[in-house]
Structure 1
Amino acid sequence: MGNSPAWRFYLLGGTVAVVVCALLPYGLTRDGLYSLIGMSSAAAAFAAAARCRGAVGLLWLLMGIGQLSAALGDALWTYYDHIAHVDPFPSPADGLYLLQYPIVAVALLMLARHHRSPGDREARLDAAILIVGLVLPYWVLVIAPSIGGYDSALEEAITLSYPLGDVLLLAALVRLLAASHARTPSGRMVTVALVLVMAGDVIFVLDEEGVSTTAVGVLPFLTSYLIWGAAALHPSAADLLRAAPETAPSFTTRRLVTLTAVVLLAPGTLIAQLTFGFELSAWPVSITSVLLFVLVVARMAIMLRRLQDQARRLDEIARTDTLTGLPNRRTLDAQLVRAYERAARDGTPISLALLDLDRFKLFNDTHGHQAGDELLAGAATAWSLVITNADMLARYGGEEFVLLMPGRGLEDAEHLLAALRVVTPQGQTFSAGLALWDGRETPLELLRRADTALYAAKEAGRDRAVRAAPAVRNVTALPAAGNNL
């Protein structure tokens, strides 16, 4: 959790102060201590801003301003209630409280922006699904019951501004959690503090029995101040913008379960209202259901597109040699079949050469395997620049390559091999066995003839191309015609 003791001392001393504040009777002393705890949280955030500087410092500065705004609201509320003896609601104290929401939301969105990943589009959609789904019960349980019944429009507007501010904080927090892969202790504490702020606001808005002035009502806000201050003093406060690994997004079981549960909140809300006889929230549920449907379809479309891209890449990997980037033997076999069919239909020749880099083992032993890999890749690149689109160069295995040349006779094929010899890198040479398809032999038989010719080229001194002997066919002799009489 970090070696610096400052955050531990703050957390320990703050816990004592929070407990004392919660146990004190409602009055000037309790609310004064309440304001001091809030001020200490803002001071810790400003200290983190001064210590971190740069972009991280700006984030802590914004959060510190948000905390200070709330703490000044506490102090002003205390003045109105206990010194001026006037009703603090509504008052300028509410303006200071409400100022905290957009400032902290901006900080969270900045943090989410720095934690973007290759799957940021999916993260944004997941965040949108969570926000839309969670706002519905918040509307039904908190916002809708708070509409109407106030002495003035200002009182109603300020009361409703708190849950709407919570919706803004919730949206920013969900966006951050959906995008972030860097989970630091400081970041986790900030998350807990924000949840406590929203919980305290729910108690405040739904308060009908004066609970918000008791320990139950003040504890969420006090604990939020305490945890936020500890997060600012924690050594990991400087790591809020730590770069996350650039990994492709994974649709985990936990994320699937979470999204499923949130999507089911819309029909679940309607079912609960029907079951217990509550007033139906038909329009909110309908609008939410439509939005969730569109978002889920968009999420599925992106996931399907990603799966298709992955399948395409896997297919390319399965058909390509990873070292040279050339087609592998599997692709060569398929191409041979297609070339046979085309040649049989059009009556065109097919030449095939089996190439082998000369003394490759000696080159490897002398220069190392990495240099050997570079030679193979370099040869593949240089040869690929010489051949035409109709030809196909594939890696057969080891230092052996196959050059398939549809439409070329033996002389034309030998000219192409001579051109390849010129561009072979690092002064190396190759031997080649060259075979012309006879129109009947199988791909394996054609490769065998080329391989036999390759061995002949090696035995003849290397650095040359040798034509394969014509294919030999076993013909069973027919009995001579004659008179058996």
Structure 2
Amino acid sequence: MSSLRAAVLVLGVLWAAFPLTPVGDVRDGYYDVLAAMCIAVAVVAARRLPPPVRCAWMLVVLGFAGWVAGELVSTVEQRVLGLDLFPAPSDAFYLGAYGLLAAGLLRLVRGRHTRQDLTPVLDATIVAVGFGIVVGTFLVGPIAEDAGTSALERVVASAYPVGDVLLIGLLVRLWASVGSRSPAFRLLLVAVVATTAADVTWNVLALTDPLADDPAWLDMLWLLAYVAAAAAVCSRSATSIGVGTVQTEAAASPHRRLVALGAGLVLPAGALAFSGLLELDVPWRLVSVGSVVVSVLVVVRMALLLRTVEEQAVQLAALARSDGLTGAPNRRTWDHELGRAFQAAEESGGPLAIGLVDLDHFKRYNDEHGHQAGDLLLREAVAAWSDLLRPGELLARYGGEEFGLLMPGSTPEQAAQRLQVMQRLTPRGQRFSAGVAAWTPSAEPAAVVEQADRALYSAKHAGRGRTRIANVTHDAPETPAVQVALQPIVDVASGAVVGHEALSRFVDGDPERVFAEAHRAGYGPVLEAAAVAEALAHRPAEGILSVNVSVGALVSEEMRCVLDADLTGVMVEITEQTDTDAWDEVAVVVASCRTRGAVVAVDDWGRGYSNVERIMRLRPEVVKLDRSLVADLSDPDRLSALRTLGEWARSMGARVCAEGVESADQWAALRAIGIELAQGYLFGRPALASDEGADGVVGGGRADTAVSPVGSL
């Protein structure tokens, strides 16, 4: 296409040189040759366009080619045959060109719109009728009233301005389209406007002075139309016109709409005023009927515009009150409907339940599956839960992964039952925690929502995946009796006992199973708090005492009460069997424990939820390796990995304790790679503490060694 654009530049230069040519046969020949060159370039360019737009542009080019053919035939008629006829054979080419060009423009218009829209048609019709009144007043009317011409002559002469009106209407129709500001469209606009201006001027001159020669600038206008048409087809943006683009009232430029409406209203009045100034006979019927038609069209157009504005207002209101991701009502709608629900409850005296729902471990789900999957989960959850809503109930996105529920006519107990059904419908195997509060007379909405929020966090601390009702005591099942067994922790280098780990024992079964069942039943934090309290009650006289606490229990109210005293000499082992999203709250509790003298450790590191992020967040003083990592230290690769872990822990300011040491070879290997602390059957099996308290020397192995001071950890 670069060669074609170069050809267009040449055509532009030749057009600019047209006034310099000698008047007469040379100029006429120059005109015909230049016009033919423009059509040749345009045809070649149109053939190279892709199929979706090729046919439309080819019709446009053929339309201009028809005018050029008419020019050539007219030259033959006048210069060769000496004919002075009207209508002449050349008029068939001229008038046929209007049809071809109109068909091309109409195809471009239809190609841009894949749906019916009346507004662009109205805009084009308004301008066409207004322009038609002007043309009818000053051109068609005088031609029709010329008694010195035949009916055929009057019809053919009138067909030219009527064709121009048709082209103007189609051009306005295309101009009102979205994206019609491309260079190709602007060049096409220049071509059609130049042609129309030249035609109208020629008709005016023919009426005022039929014997006068055409001025050179009039030929320049027609040539400009041919050059601009060729440039439009050669433009890179030619393919953007005619491609199916949905046209809507909302997308169209309002300035273009105003221009169309203004032009349609002003043109009839302008024609009337101009006729009065020139003291011409005014075709009252034409102007009156045309003005009424334009006015009716403008009224219809304004009605459609008003309807569009009303529809957009409704859409904007819906968007302003809806969550963009899930489509659920947003926080603004929640606040509004909450007040209305409270007012309705005051008037009716009926029950009203307010619920807050929070997806459990949503941050972890995002981290593991990606934010797109997290967004999809939110949308699917809203869709699933919304199906359970009754008339008058509301599910709104309260914030993040938290949702609010308004349940008029439901008691808190009924709402809790409904939430259990919602729990089962939560997609992708996820669960949520929920809190429910009840409306009471004269209660402030914010206060009731706060009660539901506290109940929600109570559900989280109770183990998640459950619903709590505000101001209702949730009695946990009777916790099994806890016994404490102490196992020595030794310094690897010297073998000296530096402390003990408190291990829970139950008469009813395996500790891991008992704790797991307690967490599933919702009283896990209560049982853990009881175990820690029992361990502190049997604290050895010397050395450090290590107690195990899960992340979920650490932030519970029960555990805070147990760990509320001086914690000097206590090591809080945060176990890896559970996960949490409330790391900010965990950090506050850990900092509080350290302030009261506690040492923080990460337990069973290397399995389960172990990750670097936990170490980075907690900054423990001790990292306890899971026993699976020291099971086979004869493997050089495993030993090398263990050494690397130790070096990394020390770089973080932590010491490493190896669990599950059962042989002297393991002890020697750990000592060789610089592991500081260890525990296991080699140094002493767990032994039940006496009711009077441990004496600091519990278990077998090297329990007879001196106890190191707590500061050694």
Measured after TM superposition, the shift of residue 261 of structure 1 is: 4.4
Number of the residue aligned with 2:342: 340
The 10-residue stretch of structure 1 (29-38 or 55-64) with the greater mean CA deviation from structure 2 = 29-38
Distance 1:401 1:109 in 2: 52
Mapping 1:6-405, distance limit 5 Å: 6-13=4-11, 15-16=13-14, 19-20=17-18, 23-27=21-25, 29-116=26-113, 120-147=117-144, 148-206=146-204, 208=209, 210-242=211-243, 248-253=250-255, 255-257=257-259, 259-405=261-407
Structure 1: 5+ residue runs without aligned partners? 471-485
Alpha-carbon contact 1:49-1:57 (below 8 Å) kept: yes
CA distance in 2, matches of 1:451, 1:187: 60
Match of 1:425 in 2: 427
Per the alignment, residue 639 of structure 2 pairs with none
1:7–1:233 CA contact under 8 A, matched in 2: yes
Deviation at 1:202, TM superposition (A): 2.0
SS state at 2:190 partner: helix
Which structure 2 segments of 5+ residues have no match? 473-713
* Residues 40 and 229, structure 1, Cα contact 8 Å, conserved in 2: no
Give the structure with the higher percent helix: 1
Q: Distance in 2 between matches of 1:174 and 1:397?
A: 48
> Contact (CA 8 Å) 1:77, 1:93: kept in 2 or not?
yes
Check 1:445–1:145 CA distance in 2 against 1; reply closer, same or farther (3 A cut): same
Whether contact under 8 Å (1:115, 1:182) holds in the other structure is: no
The one-letter code matched in structure 2 to 1:222 is L
User: CA, structure 1 residues 433+15, in 2 after alignment: closer, same or farther (shift >3 Å)?
Assistant: closer
1:70 partner amino acid: W
Task: Report if the CA contact (8 A) 2:176-2:256 is conserved.
Answer: no
TM-score scaled by structure 1?
Answer: 0.86
* Residues 111-147 of structure 1: CA deviation (Å, up to 9, x unaligned): 1112238894332222222212222222222222222
Distance 1:344 1:53, change over 3 A: closer
Per-residue deviation, residues 303-360 of structure 1 (Å, max 9, x unmatched): 2112111211221122222222222233233333443344444443222222222233
Contact 2:456/2:468 (<8 A) preserved: yes
Between 1:358-367 and 1:398-407, the stretch displaced more is 358-367
Q: Separation in 2 of the partners of 1:372 and 1:235?
A: 43
**When the two structures are aligned, how many residues end up with a matched partner?**
468
Tell me by how many angstroms 1:107 deviates.
0.2
CA–CA separation in structure 1 for the residues paired with 2:256 and 2:159:
33
Q: Distance in 1 between matches of 2:215 and 2:408?
A: 89
**Aligned equivalents of 2:358, 2:16: Cα separation in 1:** 80
In structure 2, what is the Cα distance between the partners aligned to 1:180 and 1:428?
A: 46
Alpha-carbon contact 2:108-2:242 (below 8 Å) kept: yes
Conserved in 2, the CA contact under 8 Å of 1:14 and 1:37? no
Contact map agreement 1:197 1:224 (CA 8 A) in 2: yes
Give the match for residue 439 of structure 1. Answer: 441
2:452 corresponds in structure 1 to: 450
After superposition, the Cα gap between the structure-2 partners of 1:271 and 1:230, relative to the gap in structure 1 and judged at 3 Å, is closer
Task: Give the superposition deviation at 1:106.
Answer: 0.6
* 2:84 partner letter: D
Listed one character per residue, the Cα deviations across residues 359-390 of structure 1 (whole Å, up to 9, x for unaligned) are 33333344443333333222222221233234
Give the whole-Å Cα distance in 2 for the aligned partners of 1:308 and 1:393: 27
User: What is the TM-score with the length of structure 2 in the denominator?
Assistant: 0.60
SS of alignment partner, residue 151 of structure 1:
coil
- Partner Cα distance (1:151, 1:276) in 2: 24
Instruction: Say whether the 8 Å CA contact 1:38–1:67 is kept in structure 2.
Output: no
3-state SS, counterpart of residue 388 of structure 1: coil
Is 1:412 equivalent to 2:414 in the alignment? yes
- Structure 1 pair 374/186, CA: closer, same or farther in 2 (3 Å)? closer
- CA shift in 2, pair 1:431/1:275, >3 Å: same
Distance 1:442 1:214 in 2: 86
Higher RCO, 1 or 2 (CA under 8 Å, sep at least 6)? Answer: 1
Over 3 Å counting, the alpha-carbon distance change for 1:405 and 1:275 in structure 2 is: same
Quote the Cα distance in structure 1 between the aligned partners of 2:338 and 2:235.
65
2-side partners of 1:376 and 1:14: how far apart?
Answer: 61
Would you say the 8 A contact 1:8–1:230 is kept in 2? Answer: no
- Give the superposition deviation at 1:99: 0.8
Whole-Å Cα distance in 1 between the matches of residues 360 and 301 of structure 2? 54
Compare 120-129 and 240-249 and name the one that shifted more: 240-249
**How far 1:94 moved relative to its partner?**
1.1
In 1, the alpha carbon distance for the partners of 2:447 and 2:43 equals 79
Change (3 A) 1:254 1:73: closer
Instruction: Return the alpha-carbon distance in structure 2 between the equivalents of residues 366 and 372 of structure 1.
Output: 10
Q: Give, in whole Å, the separation in 2 of the partners of 1:13 and 1:322.
A: 54
Structure 1 residues 327, 275: closer, same or farther in 2, change over 3 A? same
- Pairwise CA RMSD: 2.9
Query: Matches of 1:21 and 1:334 in 2, distance apart?
Result: 74
Displacement, 1:101?
Answer: 0.4
Give 1:469 deviation, angstroms.
1.4
When residues 22 and 231 of structure 1 are mapped into structure 2, their CA distance, relative to the original with a 3 A threshold, is farther
